[in-house]
Structure 1
Amino acid sequence: MKSLHKILAISVLATAAGSAMAADQTVVTDEGVSTFSFFKPAAVRAEVGTTGYGGAISWSANPYVGVTLGYNGGDISWSDDLSINGSKYDLDMDNNLTYLNAEIRPWANWFYVAAGVGYIDNDYEVDRRIPAGEEFSVNGVDFVATSDSRINGKLSYKNNIAPYVGIGFSPAITDRWGIFGEVGAFYNGNPRVNLTATGTAIPDPDSGVIADFNDQVQREEEDIRNDNEYEWLPVAKLGVSFRF
């Protein structure tokens, strides 16, 4: 056990020494020899992506390990529609996400792996309007609208604490300014959802299926609650950073 402790202590000291060597450079000035540090531990950044827009603050213990606390919000969305079981809905997003990540840089360069946790309180309004006479499908069943019809409702990820994994890059442009990009996903569990149908529709005569419009809307709602496709919240974002 003592040998193991010694090995661990030596490993920690070696990592610290390597970090210091990577962080500092000895230079000769008119006044003599001095040390210049390339490693700036504190940074702020502005970001925009699939989870909204916002910012973050970062602190790095060394060039290999850092932590980032950030917030994304707003009604920004990268797509105006959402596909659910092949049905296209108009989408209106209201993002509210706070996250805390550890960022590991295996080679002390621009590449990093992020792991952390997020507090997610996102709302999604979905809406689908079908003019009379139009063919459409719900829950995989084909219908024909006999009047102007509509399916609308909400999906929400409320008060959820979700683990996160991702990968990113953050190359420097100058000794203080940089850019970054990141992709990943929160494991969020299934959303809360409710869908309401108005209007009337009959099954497509060519399909030979007997089905009720309102019943299929409720089945689609239940599928969303239980389908693991909606358990993951994907993340993709870009931004700029400034180091102090």
Structure 2
Amino acid sequence: MKTLRTVLAASVLAASGAAMADTSVVKDGYVFERNQLMPTGARVEAGTTGYGGALLWTANPYVGLALGYNGGDVSWSDDVKVNGSTYDLDMDNNNVYLNAEIRPWGASANRWAQGVYVAAGAAYLDNDYGLDRRVNPGEAFKVNNTNFIADPNGSGVNINGKMEYKNDIAPYLGLGFAPKISKNWGVFGEVGAYYTGNPTVTLTGSGDALTGGQDFQEALRAEEQKIRNDDKYEWMPVGKVGVNYYW
């Protein structure tokens, strides 16, 4: 019975406190409005993580939220270097993110200063990076920093690979600039990085490669291992631009 009385007393006090808090809220004019949950804007965007858009919320001049999606294919040619090897990169992106955007000068009279923000949040990542490399007969190339030559009498060497970031919740930090150019329209740019941990990596080589040192297939396995354990592949860089619309 003593325990029951204690619980009942605590319940009465809690209810009384809640009633007093509600009275204070109404009295002071801080009534919650459901429209505060409605987005205040939207944007379209494109960049290294694909293309898509986001809904925007503005809590106050200093803090906002962005809930968005980036997806689609992005291809880059002849500029991805992995341990001395150069690959064509085909990215298949599928990302859902939620970021808080902190504006240190959000209440400034200068609209350019208002546009500076720091983004911090997280994303669900489900990304595939396709790697492809074709070497002509007689051409020199490197795998795992080892020199090889594609057999001049063969059909050349082809290396296919895949880097996968699957089902990962990754934290994000970025820096952005989103000034308004009119009452309803604005532009934005953002750079940052997701911390993803190392990806799953596979490399498959076909064709004949000549060398006086390491075996070609052994070099591929060693290169896979280096990518899995290299710190720089724990980070996914982000760069994107877009247009904002506010209502």
TM-score (structure 1 length as normaliser): 0.79
Partner of 2:9: none
1:159 aligned residue (164, 167, 190): 167
1:74 aligns with 2:77: no
Matches within 5 A, 1:230-241: 230-241=233-244
Partner of 1:130: 135
Partner of 2:177: 169
- Contact 2:134–2:159 (8 Å) recurs in 1: yes
2:187 aligned residue (169, 179, 186): 179
User: Within 1, Cα distance between the matches of 2:105 and 2:172?
Assistant: 22
User: Within 1, Cα distance between the matches of 2:88 and 2:115?
Assistant: 38
Residue 214 of structure 2: SS of its match in structure 1? Answer: coil
- Contact 1:41–1:243 (8 Å) recurs in 2: no
User: Within 1, Cα distance between the matches of 2:200 and 2:171?
Assistant: 18
Partner of 1:6: none
Quote how far apart the aligned CAs of 1:76 are: 2.2
1:121 aligned residue (116, 121, 126): 126
Partner of 2:35: none
Matches within 5 A, 1:1-244: 42-77=40-75, 79-81=76-78, 82-108=80-106, 109-146=114-151, 147=154, 148-203=156-211, 210-244=213-247
Residue 74 of structure 2: SS of its match in structure 1? Answer: coil
Residue 182 of structure 2: SS of its match in structure 1? Answer: coil
Which residue type is aligned with residue 44 of structure 1? Answer: A
Residue 75 of structure 1: SS of its match in structure 2? Answer: strand
Q: Decide which structure has greater helix share.
A: 2
Which residue type is aligned with residue 77 of structure 2? Answer: D
User: Within 1, Cα distance between the matches of 2:225 and 2:118?
Assistant: 35
- Contact 1:103–1:113 (8 Å) recurs in 2: yes
User: Within 2, Cα distance between the matches of 1:98 and 1:89?
Assistant: 27
- Contact 2:39–2:55 (8 Å) recurs in 1: no
Q: After superposition, what is the alpha-carbon deviation per residue over 1:156-200, rounded to whole angstroms, capped at 9, x for unaligned?
A: 100010000001011111011000000000000111110011111
Identity of aligned residues (%): 58
TM-score (structure 2 length as normaliser): 0.78
After TM superposition, the runs of 4+ consecutive aligned structure 1 residues lying more than 4 A away are none
User: Within 1, Cα distance between the matches of 2:170 and 2:218?
Assistant: 32
Larger Rg: 2
Residue 217 of structure 2: SS of its match in structure 1? Answer: helix
Q: How many residues align?
A: 199
